[in-house]
C-alpha cells in the first residue's frame, strides 16, 4: 500500500476554484468523443461543486462514445453526462469548466462564445492565452485527470461513494494502463485508495461489456490494413464505425515484437482520427504527434500515447494520409517499402 500522498490541493486552491465556478450552474465539458478519464473527472468535479459548495452543474458531451466499454461506463457509472450535438447556449452558466482537455486542442466545442474559465487537465499545455481563465490546473506529470479530481475531493473532505470511486478508478486505470505508464506516486496512492471502494460487479459490467459483430469485422479489416516498416507500424483505415478504433488498434500493435511506434488513422465523418503509441524509451509520443500533424490538425499526448484529429474539409483523405505516413516514416528513420502485417490481403 502506498502511503506517501503529496496532495498539492489546499484550502486556498479550493477557494480559488470556488470563486472561478461562481454561483452556478457550471457547464462541465470534456473532449469530443470522451474517454473514461474525461467522463470520470467531469462527474467528480460536479460532485465536488455540489457537495463542497452547493453549486449545481451540467455535464454535456459532444461527439460519440464509441467504445463499448465507454458506453457501459456512461450507462452504469456516469449517467449524469448528457449528449448534445453542439453546445450553443452558454448564457445560463456562471462558468464553463474543461476537464481532461484544454482550449486550443480543437477536440471540443469551437463556438466563439465558448470561453472556459476553469481548466483541469494533464495533457501538454496548448494554452496560448490564459486571458479568460480564472482557474487553471494543468499537471502534465499526472497519469490521469481522475487522480487530480481525487485530490480535490480528498482535500475538500468529501466522501467518495462506491459509484464515483469505480468511475475514477476506471478512468485512472485506463489512462495509466493499470499504473504501467506515465504514473506518479499520487496516481498510485489514488489507485489503491479508490480500489478499496470499487464496486467490482459494476466494474466488470464495464470492462467485460459485450462487443458487437461490427467490432470484430473492423478489427479484422484493421489488421489486414496494417503495414510494418521495421520498428514503425502503421494502419490506415477508411471509414470507421467508431472514432475510438485507432486507439484500440494502436494499443494492440505497439505490442508487436520489435515495434517502437504504432500509428493508426481512420476517417470518422469529416475527420481523420489518429492514435499513436510508443515505447517508454523512444520516441516521445506527445512531441511526435505534433510533428506529424504540424499545419494539418490538432494533437495532444504524453510520453507513450498521443492522439490527434485532422478536419478533412476539401482535402482528399488519401493525400493527408500519405503526407502523415511520409512524416512518420521519416521521423522514425524508416526507408524500407514495408510489408503487410498479415500475409494474406482481404478479398471482398
Task: Point out which residues bind Mn ion (CB under 5 A).
Answer: 37, 100, 145, 175
Q: 291 by DSSP, 3-state: which?
A: helix
Residue 175 CB, nearest distance to Mn ion (Å)? 4
Residue 193 CB, nearest distance to Mn ion (Å)? 18
Contacts with 120 (C-beta within 8 Å, 6 or more apart), sequence order = 41, 45, 97, 98, 99, 100, 137, 138, 145, 148, 149
- Cell matching residue 257: 515484437
Residue 176 CB, nearest distance to Mn ion (Å)? 9
Residue 37 CB, nearest distance to Mn ion (Å)? 3
For residues 36 and 171, the answer to whether their CB atoms sit within 8 Å is: yes
Contacts with 177 (C-beta within 8 Å, 6 or more apart), sequence order = none
Residue 302 CB, nearest distance to Mn ion (Å)? 9
Nearer to Mn ion (CB atom), residue 175 or residue 321: 175
- Cell matching residue 254: 505497439
Taking the C-alpha atoms of residue 188 and residue 176, their distance in angstroms, rounded to an integer, is 10
Nearer to Mn ion (CB atom), residue 137 or residue 175: 175
Q: How distant is the alpha carbon of residue 20 from its chain centre?
A: 24
Half-sphere exposure of 166 (CA within 13 A, CB side): 20
Residue 122 CB, nearest distance to Mn ion (Å)? 6
Residue where the block lists cell 493525400? 319
Nearer to Mn ion (CB atom), residue 93 or residue 290: 290
Rg (CA), the chain: 20
Taking the C-alpha atoms of residue 13 and residue 10, their distance in angstroms, rounded to an integer, is 5
Nearer to Mn ion (CB atom), residue 100 or residue 248: 100
| CA torsion, ordered 332, 336, 342, 345, to nearest 10 deg | 120
Q: 309 by DSSP, 3-state: which?
A: strand
Nearer to Mn ion (CB atom), residue 122 or residue 202: 122
Nearer to Mn ion (CB atom), residue 100 or residue 334: 100
Residue where the block lists cell 479568460? 132
Nearer to Mn ion (CB atom), residue 175 or residue 244: 175
- Cell matching residue 48: 465536488
Nearer to Mn ion (CB atom), residue 24 or residue 286: 286
Residue 164 CB, nearest distance to Mn ion (Å)? 17
Residue number closest to Mn ion, CB atom: 37
Residue 300 CB, nearest distance to Mn ion (Å)? 10
Contacts with 347 (C-beta within 8 Å, 6 or more apart), sequence order = none
Amino acid at each position: 500500500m502506498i502511503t506517501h500522498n503529496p496532495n498539492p490541493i489546499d484550502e486556498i486552491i479550493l477557494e480559488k476554484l470556488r470563486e472561478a465556478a461562481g454561483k452556478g450552474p457550471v457547464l462541465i465539458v470534456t473532449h469530443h468523443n470522451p474517454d473514461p478519464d474525461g467522463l470520470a473527472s467531469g462527474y467528480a468535479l460536479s460532485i465536488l461543486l455540489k457537495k463542497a459548495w452547493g453549486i449545481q452543474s451540467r455535464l454535456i458531451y459532444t461527439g460519440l462514445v464509441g467504445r463499448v466499454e465507454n458506453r457501459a461506463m456512461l450507462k452504469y457509472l456516469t449517467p449524469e453526462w448528457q449528449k448534445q450535438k453542439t453546445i450553443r447556449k452558454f448564457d445560463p452558466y456562471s462558468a464553463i469548466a474543461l476537464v481532461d482537455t484544454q482550449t486550443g486542442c480543437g477536440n471540443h466545442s469551437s463556438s466563439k462564445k465558448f470561453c472556459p474559465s476553469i481548466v483541469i487537465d494533464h495533457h501538454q499545455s496548448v494554452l496560448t492565452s490564459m486571458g479568460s481563465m480564472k482557474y487553471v490546473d494543468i499537471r502534465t506529470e499526472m497519469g490521469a485527470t481522475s487522480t487530480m479530481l481525487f485530490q480535490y475531493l480528498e482535500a475538500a473532505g468529501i466522501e467518495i461513494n462506491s459509484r464515483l470511486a469505480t468511475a475514477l478508478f476506471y478512468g485512472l486505470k485506463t489512462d495509466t494502463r493499470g499504473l504501467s505508464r506515465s504514473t506518479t506516486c499520487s496516481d498510485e496512492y489514488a489507485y489503491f485508495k479508490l480500489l478499496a471502494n470499487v464496486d467490482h460487479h459494476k466494474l466488470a459490467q464495464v470492462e467485460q461489456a459485450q462487443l458487437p459483430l461490427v467490432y470484430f469485422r473492423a478489427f479484422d479489416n484493421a489488421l489486414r490494413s496494417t503495414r510494418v516498416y521495421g520498428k514503425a507500424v502503421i494502419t490506415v483505415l477508411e471509414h470507421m464505425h467508431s472514432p475510438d478504433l485507432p486507439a484500440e488498434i494502436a494499443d494492440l500493435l505497439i505490442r508487436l515484437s520489435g515495434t517502437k511506434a504504432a500509428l493508426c488513422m481512420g476517417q470518422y465523418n469529416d475527420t481523420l482520427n489518429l492514435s499513436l503509441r510508443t515505447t517508454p524509451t523512444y520516441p516521445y509520443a506527445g512531441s511526435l504527434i505534433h510533428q506529424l500533424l504540424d499545419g494539418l490538425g490538432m494533437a495532444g499526448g504524453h510520453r507513450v500515447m498521443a492522439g490527434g484529429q485532422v478536419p478533412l474539409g476539401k482535402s482528399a483523405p488519401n493525400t493527408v494520409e500519405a503526407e502523415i505516413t511520409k512524416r512518420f516514416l521519416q521521423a522514425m528513420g524508416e526507408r524500407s517499402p514495408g510489408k503487410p502485417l498479415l500475409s494474406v490481403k482481404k478479398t471482398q
